[in-house]
Amino acid sequence: MRRVGIVSSGSTVLDAGVILAGGEERNVKAEDLVLIRNRNGNRIMAVCRGGLGSNENLRTSNYSPGVAYARVGRHPSNAKEFYAFGLSVIGDASEGVLKENKMLIAPSSEVEIFEEHDNPMSILGDTGSTIGYYKDHPSWRVPINPNYICYHMGVFASTGAGKSLLTRYEIIPFIRAAGYKVLIFDWKGSDYAPYFKCRYEVADLGLEDDVVVDYLCSVMDYFGYYQSSMIERNPIRAALETVIYEGKWRDCGDAEKLRCFLKDNVLLELERENMDEKTGKVGYWARNYMKKFEKCITKLSADDLRNVLGKTTAAEILEVAKREDVVVVDLGVGNKEEKLSIFLSVAKYLCQLMERKEQLDLALIIDEGPQYCPFMPKGIENQTTEVISELCALGRSYRLSVVLLSQGIAGEIGINAAIRRNLNTQFIGKLNPLDLMEAMRLLGQADIDEKYLVLMPVGDFYVTGKMNGSPIPLLIHFDLPEVKAEVGDEG
Ligand SMILES: Nc1ncnc2c1ncn2[C@@H]1O[C@H](COP(=O)(O)OP(=O)(O)O)[C@@H](O)[C@H]1O
Ligand SMILES: [Mg+2]
């Protein structure tokens, strides 16, 4: 430890300032960790934030000799110059483990900085599990509490800030070390699928009956209905439902056979349902429905049809996940409805298992979160949003963790508020300025400068929430393995 200054006036239980000893302004940086040797008796761990450089001779509120010097290009005396940092209290570290600080911090208490070799991370709790390292200190791995994995996680940062890589290199190994299996939904098919051995593609996967109905309706543009009540309930959909639920369509070996089968059987069903019992004829409206369906089904592409013919079930995927530790569902090809339908099949199955009170020991990684549960869900997004919310609620009891990645937190660029509330631990990286308000709400009153949140470098994340040993957000960083290897080569 090295003494860097003393506490300034105006300290409280949770906040203080440090006036830096001469020259320390060149060493002490924002986010550095310090120990306050409180004259009132305890030792308090805190983090430097904010910060101020002051020279009374250089105030610009009125004209002064200092200002006059500046005007003629000279420097006034720096006798009245000092530097200070704000200190956000992490907690009472008197006994080597972190406790809530309840003591008032005495002005003029000594402040010491943690140097590289006095690793302060053990004070934050020795959980045996870590994610990343404390900013600028590669040897200080940050302890993260795995007991709260099923209180769910959110990873928020604008595109390119390192969310997917943080998840791949740090969060997934952390979750696995805690004994969970991992099921990844790779929306783009490029972030995870190439890096894990066990993966499924869109056309491999079997869908549940109602998901098939939803999917087929959506690729047939809901038969031209646009009112939400008619999208959900209309005679064509009802007929399709009957045919799909009967299940014989699953024996159609290829797309064209399926097209014929559906066309014949749905038309038959529409005719049967709408036949006048007395006259034995179908009315004008029924003929209209039949015409509509006939047109829609010829417009379906072979790929659309092939996508419902996959055979792998959610149950099989989970069986494989139990053996293989990590399974990736590669959603790289296909349209949005298909991708969401597949997710929905698996998610619904997981809900069923939990309703049967099965412990899952599973983490779901959902990258590109706004695709699944946007701010204002539409169509099938309503169902995916709802099911994610259900997964979160049940997951806490049955060891299912949801890890959601998103480029925005709230509002139009963010994720649905109902889901957001369920993500207890948050990793927040470089943000879009539109999201500052929400981020500041999450990061609380921890003196984090909101200007910094839009400037954060790639790979930096504030971690906040139950999994963080500190009650205030901490700044972590992670390196890509290639970078580590290069350093090793040089050595
Ligand atoms: N910790 C890091 N250090 C250096 N570069 C990084 C780091 N994390 C990410 N990157 C770079 O940023 C790019 C985007 O990362 P990615 O995780 O795909 O971002 P996101 O998922 O947030 O869009 C990567 O291709 C990589 O080159
Ligand atoms: Mg990404």
Give yes or no for residue 486 having a pLDDT over 60. no
- CA of 166, nearest ligand number: 1
Exposed e or buried b for every residue in 302-336, given b needs 16+ CB within 10 A?
eebbebbbbeebbeebbebbeeeebbbbbbeebbe
Instruction: Specify if 469 maps to a domain.
Output: yes
Instruction: Specify if 462 maps to a domain.
Output: yes
What is the per-residue pLDDT across 193-226, written as a single tens digit (0 to 9) for each? 999 998 898 888 887 788 788 889 888 988 988 8
Nearest atom within ligand 1 for CA of residue 478: 1
Instruction: Specify if 72 maps to a domain.
Output: yes
- Are both 462 and 474 inside the same structural domain? yes
Q: Which of 250, 274, 306 is the last residue of a domain?
A: 306
Per-residue model confidence (pLDDT) at position 487: 52
Per-residue model confidence (pLDDT) at position 307: 83
- Are both 53 and 146 inside the same structural domain? no
Tokens 């003929």: give the residue. Answer: 287
Mean pLDDT, residues 19-48 taken together: 96
Residue 458, ligand 1, Cβ within 6 A:
yes
Q: Which of 86, 118, 150 is the last residue of a domain?
A: 118
Per-residue model confidence (pLDDT) at position 347: 94
Per-residue model confidence (pLDDT) at position 333: 79
Q: How many CB atoms lie within 10 A of CB 77?
A: 12
Mean pLDDT, residues 318-322 taken together: 90
Q: Whole-model pTM?
A: 0.85
Q: Which of 286, 306, 326 is the last residue of a domain?
A: 306
What CATH code is carried by the domain that includes residue 187?
3.40.50.300
Higher pLDDT residue, 482 or 59? Answer: 59
276 pLDDT tier (thresholds 50, 70, 90): confident
361 CA distance to ligand 1 middle (Å): 28
CA nearest ligand 1 atom 10, residue? 162
How many folded domains does the chain comprise?
A: 3
356 pLDDT tier (thresholds 50, 70, 90): very high
What 8-state DSSP symbol labels residue 383? H
Strand partners, 91: 45
- Smallest Cα–Cα separation from 463: which of 51, 85, 171? 171
- Are both 65 and 167 inside the same structural domain? no
- Are both 416 and 371 inside the same structural domain? yes
- Are both 58 and 96 inside the same structural domain? yes
Instruction: Specify if 175 maps to a domain.
Output: yes
Give yes or no for residue 491 having a pLDDT over 80. no
Per-residue model confidence (pLDDT) at position 18: 97
Instruction: Specify if 53 maps to a domain.
Output: yes
- CA of 132, nearest ligand number: 1
Give CA–CA dist 361/183, Å, rounded.
11
Range name among 177-186, 257-266, 281-290, 398-407 with the lowest pLDDT average: 281-290
- Are both 195 and 257 inside the same structural domain? no
- Are both 429 and 296 inside the same structural domain? no
Instruction: Specify if 280 maps to a domain.
Output: yes
Residue 195, ligand 1, Cβ within 6 A:
no
CA nearest ligand 1 atom 17, residue? 162
What is the per-residue pLDDT across 217-233, written as a single tens digit (0 to 9) for each? 888 988 988 887 888 78
- Are both 159 and 224 inside the same structural domain? no
CA nearest ligand 1 atom 13, residue? 160
Find the domain containing 248 and state its range.
209-306
What's the farthest any 2 CA atoms get from each other in the chain?
Answer: 107
Instruction: Specify if 62 maps to a domain.
Output: yes
- Are both 58 and 107 inside the same structural domain? yes
- CA of 155, nearest ligand number: 1
User: What's the chain's average pLDDT?
Assistant: 91
Instruction: Specify if 134 maps to a domain.
Output: no
Mean pLDDT, residues 41-60 taken together: 93
Using a 10 angstrom Cβ sphere, with 0-12 exposed, 13-18 middle and 19 or more buried, the burial of residue 455 is exposed
- Are both 60 and 46 inside the same structural domain? yes
Mean pLDDT, residues 8-15 taken together: 94
The phi and psi torsions of 454 (rounded to 5 degrees) equal -90, -5
> Which of 159, 165, 170 for a ligand 1 pocket mutation test, highest count of atoms within 8 Å of Cβ?
165
- Are both 331 and 453 inside the same structural domain? yes
Higher pLDDT residue, 281 or 463? Answer: 463
% of the chain surpassing 90 pLDDT: 67
Per-residue model confidence (pLDDT) at position 28: 96
98, 90 Cβ separation under 8 angstroms: yes
- Are both 315 and 275 inside the same structural domain? no
